[in-house]
């Protein structure tokens, strides 16, 4: 097997559609047992040690679509905005509810997603 350079890999990714890229990322995550997450701003210098309760605080949430409601098309649009899914994939997700829309996101992103989905008429659960 010939090893590709970083530039060659980027050129290959550039030619892929978003759906192909999304499928690649999922396959990569499964193969190497990792999660591709958005970069998070690095905190400043560490202060005094935090209490044990703060360390146990939940910092990753899943946004679960439990029902599409009456405005299914609006919900599909919001799902597409929140994810990198195409129209068919978003429709399948909405049709197959209950299903996770976002997984392992921070509290702020989970709350925003819940608010957007509920605004479109969906019923949502954050775990």
What pLDDT is attached to residue 54?
47
- My answer on whether 73 and 32 are in the same domain is no
Closest CA to 105 of 86, 82, 87: 82
Tell me: the pLDDT tens digits for 43-90?
555 555 555 444 456 778 888 888 888 888 898 898 888 888 888 888
- Please state, in angstroms and rounded to a whole number, the distance separating the CA atoms of residues 36 and 29: 7
Lowest-confidence segment of 1-5, 33-37, 38-42, 91-95 by average pLDDT: 38-42
Instruction: Identify the burial level of 117 via C-beta atoms within 10 angstroms of its C-beta, where 0-12 means exposed, 13-18 middle and 19 or more buried.
Output: buried
Structure tokens given for 106: 């921070």
In a domain, 113, yes or no: yes
Cα dihedral across residues 92, 25, 34, 110: positive or negative: negative
75 and 119 in a single domain? The answer is yes
**What does the DSSP 8-state code read for residue 84?**
S
For the chain, the domain total comes to 2
Residue 78 and residue 117 in one domain: yes
CB 96 within 8 A of CB 65: no
Taking the CA atoms of 98, 74, 70 and 122 in sequence, report the sign of the dihedral they define.
Answer: positive
Assigned domain for 18 exists: yes
Same domain, 30 and 68: no
Shared domain for 24 and 69, answered yes or no, is: no
For tokens 């429709």, the residue is: 91
Using an 8 Å Cβ cutoff, are 116 and 78 in contact?
yes
The residue range of the domain holding 116 is: 61-126
Same-domain status, 82 and 114? yes
Position 40 confidence tier, pLDDT thresholds 50, 70, 90: very low
Answer yes or no: do 65 and 14 share one domain.
Answer: no
d(CA 88, CA 71): 17
Cβ atoms within 10 Å, residue 87: 12
Look at residue 117 and tell me if it is in a domain. Answer: yes
Query: What confidence score (pLDDT) does residue 106 get?
Result: 86
Average pLDDT taken over every residue of the chain: 79
């Amino acid at each position: 097997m010939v090893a590709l350079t970083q530039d060659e890999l980027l050129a290959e990714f550039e030619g892929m559609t978003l759906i192909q890229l999304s499928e690649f990322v999922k396959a990569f995550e499964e193969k190497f047992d990792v999660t591709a997450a958005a970069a998070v701003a690095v905190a400043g210098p560490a202060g005094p040690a935090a209490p044990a309760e703060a360390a146990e605080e939940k910092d990753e949430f899943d946004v679960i679509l439990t029902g599409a409601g009456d405005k299914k098309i609006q919900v599909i649009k919001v799902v597409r905005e929140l994810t990198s899914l195409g129209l068919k994939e978003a429709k399948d997700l909405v049709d197959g509810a209950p299903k996770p829309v976002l997984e392992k996101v921070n509290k702020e992103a989970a709350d925003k997603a819940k608010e957007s989905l509920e605004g479109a008429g969906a019923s949502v659960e954050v775990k």
